[in-house]
Homo-oligomer: A and B are copies of this chain.
Amino acid sequence: MVGSSNRVESFPDATDLEASLPFPTPSFTPLQVHNVSVPQEQTTFQSLKQRLGEVFFPDDPLHQFKNKSFLRKMVLALHYFFPIFQWGSDYHLKLLKSDAISGVTIASLAIPQGISYAKLAGLPPIIGLYSSFVPPLIYSVLGSSRDLAVGPVSIASLVMGSMLREVVSPDKEPTLYLQLAFTATFFAGVFQASLGLLRLGFIVDFLSKPTLTGFMGGAAIIVSLQQLKGLLGIVHFTTKMGFIPVMQSVFENRTEWAWQTVVMGLSFLAFLLIARHISLRRPKLFWVSAAAPLTSVILSTILSFIFKAPNHGIKTIGHLQEGVNPPSVNLLDFGGPYLSLAIKTGIITGILALTEGMAVGRTFASLKNYQIDGNKEMVAIGAMNMAGSCASCYVTTGSFSRSAVNYNAGCKTALSNIVMASAVLFTMLFLMPLFYYTPNVMLSAIIIAAVIGLIDVRGAFLLWKVDKFDFLACMSAFFGVLLISVQMGLAIAVGISLFKILIHATRPNTVILGNVPGTNSYRNLAQYREAVRVPSFLILGIESPIYFTNSMYLQERILRWVREEEERIVKSNESSLKCIVLDMAAVTAVDTNGMEALSELKKTLDKRSLDLVLANPVGEVAQKLSRSGTWELFGSEHIYMTVGEAIAAASYKCQT
């Protein structure tokens, strides 16, 4: 093994060396040159184990089980798999009060939103209530977040509706549509739980924040546009989702606009938006926006009842079946021509639901300074969707708006979800007839008021200011969703985000470094204006791993730097270039193409009598250079621990 010994090499005479430096060396003490070490060689199995450990178990989930008795391990395992036992064992009455208040508060929000979101997904309103009953119960047993309020959410509802409606009409084939929705929910659950069990949670991270900002903004507009049907009382509406067909449909059916519906819708929308605005301004008044939807539903229902709204062209929800969730296992369909549609819909809504749920869980966990386990959370959300699909529920997750209310109302544990589910159960058993007169336009107003908060103009502006590429990803997602389709918008944005990583690995920065006076540090001349070039040396920092995608570019780019430096030297009459130092601190990986490029570069520069020296190759790179023979090609006298030592040694060599 080359360079694996820990030799510290002393120069014959330190005074000699200092005298030999071509520039003043105020704080320089280059008495010694340190050999660059190569990390200890591991067996293939060891390094594979370590690598896989980093990929799949970065959080080291077993560390809490170390050095514990068997009984304690069992208890910990029970706590690990069923967090309810963890918080349940310490539960006391004082907590119950907080949880009960927050549970009832989110129920008052969950009932109208559940009915509305089900409509958004093209499902009967009652499915929204079913979905607010079973999944919260399951989550309260398995989930590790204390603040998540579980139920249907707007984005997942929209995407499921948009994907299924492309193929099947919920009006013409309601049973098939319902079958597909439950089957897709089942697959969403399977997908979510698998991601957690296989510890592939990082796939969720591939939806970057800029992508989500753009996507949610676009989706919010799409959702709001869809609500124009209810808000304007239009009967014949397009089944398409895009901006253009919807606007066409709205204006082609001008004759169907019903002024009574419009007036009622806009008034309540204004009410909801004002309530939302008040709560945003004063977080203590969170209950204003939390209570507003239920208040509106009650008010509008009473109005509708008094004025016999259906007679004036205002459509109402009508009869809703009383009773708890009927089983729906028999509706799951794992064959037939629509299986692939169900799987695709399940995966996309599943990942979106997961993204929202995880983000919400993490946000509130960080506010209360506890941590949630991403992979475990995925299993919990997946399990509740799998179970939900067998009990007439469609895709659910942690909702941002309701979780915020839950948090503000002072919830302490997942018990608030149980309280909410009980309130929903009570509603389903006894209060269903009350919804008979609830106008449909009310549901549209609730949806619009809920999604309008997803449009984050300030966030998009900040992206423009800070990172243009992120802004591009954001805008592609936005316009992709708006003009093409929900799935395509998402795909384009993810593609652009990944392309950004690849372009960084394809055209990395190379910068000229100079000595920061009075220090041993070498920094980018463009960044530190006080840094000065070292005569006869060209010090280049390479700001990327050297991969096949950039090895050819780097080779040519470095040669161009050399050419430009030589031209500059000729112009300014400085001492001629002798040595090129590559600062490898940021070269965190190298592949076979990269090593070949380094060797090629060395040979090319050798032919021009220029020295090529590497400074600070990091662990993995040093190991590979050594294994591949590139190290030997360079020789230990061309590889140093720091740029400073490389320069000192090279200057010394030139003198002797």
Residues of A near any B CB (own CB < 8 A): 6, 8, 27, 29, 32, 34, 37-40, 44, 47-48, 54-55, 58-60, 63, 202, 205-211, 366, 369, 371, 374, 462-463, 465-470, 497-498, 500-509, 511, 516, 518-521, 523-524, 526-530, 541, 543-545, 547-553, 556-557, 559-560, 563, 585-586, 588-589, 591-593, 595-596, 600, 603-604, 607, 616, 618-620, 622, 624, 627-628, 641-642
Q: How far, in angstroms, from A628 to B464 measured CA to CA in the complex?
A: 10
- Chain B: minimal CB distance from A294 (Å): 34
A51 to chain B: closest residue by CB: B507
Q: How far, in angstroms, from A208 to B202 measured CA to CA in the complex?
A: 26
Q: Report whether B586 and A466 are in contact in the complex, using a CB–CB cutoff of 8 Å.
A: no
**Which residues does chain B contribute within 8 Å of A618, judged by CB atoms?**
511, 524, 527, 541, 543, 586
**Which residues does chain B contribute within 8 Å of A210, judged by CB atoms?**
548, 591-593
Q: Report whether B551 and A521 are in contact in the complex, using a CB–CB cutoff of 8 Å.
A: no
Q: Report whether B34 and A641 are in contact in the complex, using a CB–CB cutoff of 8 Å.
A: no
- Chain B: minimal CB distance from A547 (Å): 6
Which of B32, B521, B529 has a CB less than 8 Å from the CB of A642?
Answer: B521
- Chain B: minimal CB distance from A6 (Å): 6
Given A208-B548, A642-B521, the answer on whether A467 and B592 have CB atoms closer than 8 Å is yes
A516 to chain B: closest residue by CB: B34
Which of B206, B501, B529 has a CB less than 8 Å from the CB of A37?
Answer: B529
Q: Report whether B553 and A600 are in contact in the complex, using a CB–CB cutoff of 8 Å.
A: no
Which of B39, B205, B556 has a CB less than 8 Å from the CB of A552?
Answer: B205
**Which residues does chain B contribute within 8 Å of A502, judged by CB atoms?**
498, 501-502
Q: Report whether A552 and B596 are in contact in the complex, using a CB–CB cutoff of 8 Å.
A: no
Q: Report whether B58 and A209 are in contact in the complex, using a CB–CB cutoff of 8 Å.
A: no
**Which residues does chain B contribute within 8 Å of A34, judged by CB atoms?**
516, 519, 521, 528
Q: How far, in angstroms, from A47 to B468 measured CA to CA in the complex?
A: 10
15 additional contacts, CB 8 Å, given A6-B529, A207-B548? Answer: A38-B527, A54-B507, A55-B503, A55-B507, A58-B553, A59-B556, A202-B506, A369-B604, A374-B552, A470-B591, A470-B592, A501-B505, A504-B589, A519-B641, A524-B619
**Which residues does chain B contribute within 8 Å of A506, judged by CB atoms?**
202, 205
- Chain B: minimal CB distance from A307 (Å): 50
Q: How far, in angstroms, from A206 to B550 measured CA to CA in the complex?
A: 9
Interchain residue pairs with CB less than 8 A apart (13): A44-B468, A55-B503, A206-B548, A210-B593, A369-B607, A466-B592, A466-B627, A500-B591, A501-B501, A501-B505, A521-B641, A527-B619, A586-B586
Q: How far, in angstroms, from A467 to B528 measured CA to CA in the complex?
A: 37
Closest 8 CB pairs of A and B: A208-B548, A543-B588, A527-B619, A586-B586, A466-B628, A585-B585, A39-B527, A37-B528
A463 to chain B: closest residue by CB: B592
A529 to chain B: closest residue by CB: B6
- Chain B: minimal CB distance from A589 (Å): 6
Which of B207, B465, B516, B551 has a CB less than 8 Å from the CB of A627?
Answer: B465
**Which residues does chain B contribute within 8 Å of A503, judged by CB atoms?**
55
Given A39-B527, A516-B34, A527-B622, the answer on whether A549 and B206 have CB atoms closer than 8 Å is yes
Q: Report whether B524 and A641 are in contact in the complex, using a CB–CB cutoff of 8 Å.
A: no
Q: Report whether A592 and B504 are in contact in the complex, using a CB–CB cutoff of 8 Å.
A: no
Q: How far, in angstroms, from A641 to B515 measured CA to CA in the complex?
A: 12
**Which residues does chain B contribute within 8 Å of A500, judged by CB atoms?**
591
- Chain B: minimal CB distance from A90 (Å): 22
**Which residues does chain B contribute within 8 Å of A59, judged by CB atoms?**
556, 560
- Chain B: minimal CB distance from A572 (Å): 16
Q: Report whether B509 and A32 are in contact in the complex, using a CB–CB cutoff of 8 Å.
A: no
Q: How far, in angstroms, from A549 to B473 measured CA to CA in the complex?
A: 14
Q: How far, in angstroms, from A618 to B29 measured CA to CA in the complex?
A: 25
**Which residues does chain B contribute within 8 Å of A521, judged by CB atoms?**
34, 641-642
**Which residues does chain B contribute within 8 Å of A39, judged by CB atoms?**
524, 526-527
A543 to chain B: closest residue by CB: B588
Given A498-B502, A530-B6, A548-B497, the answer on whether A509 and B586 have CB atoms closer than 8 Å is no
Which of B60, B516, B604 has a CB less than 8 Å from the CB of A366?
Answer: B604
A373 to chain B: closest residue by CB: B556
**Which residues does chain B contribute within 8 Å of A37, judged by CB atoms?**
527-529
Q: How far, in angstroms, from A150 to B639 measured CA to CA in the complex?
A: 41
Q: Report whether A593 and B208 are in contact in the complex, using a CB–CB cutoff of 8 Å.
A: yes
A627 to chain B: closest residue by CB: B466
Q: Report whether B509 and A466 are in contact in the complex, using a CB–CB cutoff of 8 Å.
A: no
**Which residues does chain B contribute within 8 Å of A369, judged by CB atoms?**
604, 607
Q: How far, in angstroms, from A563 to B60 measured CA to CA in the complex?
A: 11
Q: Report whether A366 and B600 are in contact in the complex, using a CB–CB cutoff of 8 Å.
A: yes
A55 to chain B: closest residue by CB: B507
Q: How far, in angstroms, from A389 to B40 measured CA to CA in the complex?
A: 57
**Which residues does chain B contribute within 8 Å of A604, judged by CB atoms?**
366, 369
**Which residues does chain B contribute within 8 Å of A202, judged by CB atoms?**
506-507, 549, 552-553
- Chain B: minimal CB distance from A583 (Å): 9
- Chain B: minimal CB distance from A62 (Å): 12
A469 to chain B: closest residue by CB: B591
Q: How far, in angstroms, from A39 to B529 measured CA to CA in the complex?
A: 9
Which of B560, B586, B627 has a CB less than 8 Å from the CB of A58?
Answer: B560
- Chain B: minimal CB distance from A498 (Å): 7
**Which residues does chain B contribute within 8 Å of A374, judged by CB atoms?**
552, 556
- Chain B: minimal CB distance from A656 (Å): 23
Q: Report whether A557 and B58 are in contact in the complex, using a CB–CB cutoff of 8 Å.
A: yes
Q: Report whether A29 and B32 are in contact in the complex, using a CB–CB cutoff of 8 Å.
A: no
